[in-house]
Structure 1
């Protein structure tokens, strides 16, 4: 089996909130300035971090996950990236060893070393103890280097580096940057296109990095695998895909999957367009419809156009925010309510706290498809469905899939490559 080699690391941390996304984005920018080709991945299901990482790297960011994406497809994505890249950066999820599968599981599966990002504020020599612990906790993973984040001064940086053993070099220190931190809201980071000064924030943060140019990232071999091309089950099918500030939670891999099935993708905006484009099928992904209630509600021409599509018995996939858009009404966190499409006999309301989080697998007539759920809203409806997801980690999270005519609607964000044939069946006119 042939393989492609390039430098690669998994950027991980002891816990969430240590600065992985910021570090990954700035590293991508740093290596780009050295005229190196950089490809970035994100471990696990996520839409918001990849938006920032795509901006920083200049290329689409794909998910890697041993369960949702699968080992074979993850390996394929890595090998394809290694063909084009000088450096592959993989941002982990949560703490290095947290979750099933964890960031460490993915690093071990592909033999990729770890770059440990550690929040060094309020500590000195303990920084080294944490780094050593991350390195030695499992025999099948290794930490190649560390980055000290939120460093207070040059003296503080020197203390941290001196405490590290020779086997754990410090690739860089990042001085505390409170005023240039990436802004966030209840689902995570703000969308990259909403942060009008993102370029300045990344530039200022890069200036606050102190790199040790004697530390280099290791080269890793990524074997190619033989993959059968997908059958053209959607050849010539025109799929309208909502994509704007309200509907932006799109996996690049899902778009690739639809194109590999032969579909023609046509993007439109429920916020600004007055009607659907000339399409056969409709895909309404997730996003933040609750932040655009007035605009969506007042665009009655678009709502009427979606009704015509639905009542013509044409296919629709609606995920999370896309499903909320099809409800009778949606109430935001400030208790503002707006009438929306009304195709689903349901009312949705944003809650003060997270209402569901977890991986999901749905079995429909013997066909399984995987994805994840993550939302702050609740649905009030008399609709019932025998189709619901199961969480592989034993959580009680179980999201329903509502089916009306040719509509498949759920809180689940599906990963299309986990069952392209089912997605094709849902979208075939």
Structure 2
């Protein structure tokens, strides 16, 4: 059986630099002409977009709240089948899950038997790193922490102390990243920035060069080499129904799980369209309006009246449409920006979305609807200004099973809400029954 390098880049806490290391490593491996497959622990749909840009591939979410262990194993084996290297970016700290370790990077590493490479923020730290490394190596024996990369290192002599800590703990030091402002990723209010002004290719190549200089990539690939995962039988057989599926995809709408789109391809054809620039919907049996950054394109979205009319006609005539977060906001009567300016929208949902007095709503969601337990994730700053006038068709709970005030709306065959649903294991069409 052939071998493949598998590694999970984890951290002691958020902000340690695992995303920067992951992106630079993905680009460095691509520049070496290696076939690399990126993965992301957890529900994040923005980090995966950066993975796509860095690797010129498709990053896959591995999430044990949204999906079953068998589904995660199937995804990992399927997408790694023809690759040379698999790089999985962790979420938060290594052991941080939605309930203790549940849903954590460590749980993914254990399930898939992936070697772990730690990233540690070493600013203002020397030999004390030994105690931290010892704890992360020995806290949970069912995972294998094989190496460490230190970030924000002040000098070569600083790194010498850190290497001594590694030696005494038995974890291999793989290099360090000095503090350098121009390899830090700019941020926006909703996760990482996807601004056009941010030249990602130039940034990725710069970080890749930086990592090639400071990290022993050859050794990293050597100590993480394993037997290639075996592709098992698919956990769900989907029957092709020859459906025509249309997915909104442009600067305003682009947050979706790759595997959801793969599911639609199993149902039939998938066409992409732009609510920003196209004048009408394509012919379709099912429309998907994902989340994104509609608040950054309010004028253009509001002015495209012919698309509004096309969507209204589709819905009024019984067309099936699922809208999530930003897609749901677009279907409201209006969206108010943070300065109080009101922009008319599609006006199918008789409610108003607003960016004023922004407060973060974040977390896993379980939706009890139509006899199904639907899993998803919520991450937004906007709100529905007159939500008290709208009735939810589902009971919605957080990861602890506590009911939350989120809602799922329905009008004819339109289903809409703030939750980003993971439907790769669902009977999607049964939602509309």
Q: Structure 1 length as normaliser, TM-score?
A: 0.93
Which residue in the other structure is 1:40 paired with? Answer: 38
Matched with 2:146 is: 144
* Post-superposition offset of 1:399: 2.5
Equivalent-residue separation in structure 2 for 1:390 and 1:282 (angstroms): 26
> What whole-Å deviation, never above 9, does each CA across 1:1-44 have from its counterpart, x for those lacking one?
xx874211111101111111111111112222222211010001
The question of whether the paired residues in 1 share the 8 Å contact of 2:96 and 2:105 is answered with yes
Aligned partner of 1:407 in structure 2 is 414
Specify which of 297, 306, 314 is matched with residue 309 of structure 1.
314
Matches within 5 A, 1:250-265: 250-261=256-267, 263-265=268-270
On the 8 A contact 1:317/1:426 being kept in 2, the answer is no
**In structure 1, how many angstroms separate the alpha carbons of the residues matched to 2:397 and 2:425?**
15
Q: Is the 8 A contact 2:252 2:293 kept in 1?
A: yes
What secondary structure, in the 3-state scheme, does the structure 1 residue paired with 2:81 have? helix
User: Is the CA contact (8 Å cut-off) linking 1:4 and 1:83 kept in structure 2?
Assistant: no
SS in 2 for 1:17: coil
Which runs of 5 or more residues in structure 2 are unaligned?
Answer: none
CA distance in 2, matches of 1:236, 1:410: 27
SS, match of residue 233 in structure 2: coil
Given that 1:75 and 1:223 are in contact with CA atoms closer than 8 Å, whether structure 2 keeps it comes out as no
Asked whether the 8 Å contact 2:155–2:178 carries over to 1, the reply is yes
Q: Is 1:211 aligned to 2:218, yes or no?
A: no
Instruction: Tell whether 2:423 aligns with 1:416.
Output: yes
Aligned equivalent of 1:88: 86
Alpha-carbon distance, 1:230 to partner? 2.7
Paired residues, number: 421
Aligned partners of 1:97 and 1:104 also within 8 Å: yes
Task: Tell me how far apart the structure 2 counterparts of residues 384 and 129 of structure 1 sit (CA, whole Å).
Answer: 53
RMSD between aligned alpha carbons? 2.0
Shift in Å, 1:168: 0.8
Looking at structure 2, the residues matched to 226 and 288 of structure 1 have their Cα atoms a distance apart, in angstroms, of: 37
Matching of residue 12 in structure 1 with residue 17 in structure 2 = no
Measured in 2, the distance between the counterparts of 1:236 and 1:187 equals 36
- Equivalent of residue 188 in structure 2, options 182, 185, 189: 185
Counterpart-to-counterpart distance in 2, 1:386 and 1:424: 16
Q: Distance in 2 between matches of 1:397 and 1:89?
A: 35
Residue 53 and residue 231 in structure 1: after superposition, are their counterparts in 2 closer, same or farther (change >3 A)? closer
Helix, strand or coil at the partner of 1:149: strand
CA distance in 2, matches of 1:389, 1:129: 42
SS at match of 2:76: helix
SS at match of 2:130: helix
**Cα-to-partner distance string for 1:323-377 (whole Å, 9 max, x where unaligned):** 0000111122233321111110111112555432111122223222211111111
1:118 paired residue number: 120
Instruction: Could you tell me which runs of 5 or more consecutive residues in structure 1 were left unpaired when the two chains were aligned.
Output: none
- Say whether the 8 Å CA contact 1:316–1:427 is kept in structure 2: no
| Deviations, residues 127-165 of structure 1 (Å, cap 9, x unaligned) | 333222211111212211001112222222233223212
Residues 308-336 of structure 1: per-residue CA shift (max 9 Å, x gap): 11111111100010000001111222333
Aligned partners of 2:286 and 2:393: how far apart in 1? Answer: 24
- Do the aligned residues in 1 keep the contact of 2:11 with 2:94 (CA within 8 Å)? yes
Which residue does 1:220 correspond to in 2?
Answer: 226
Query: Which residue in the other structure is 1:172 paired with?
Result: 175
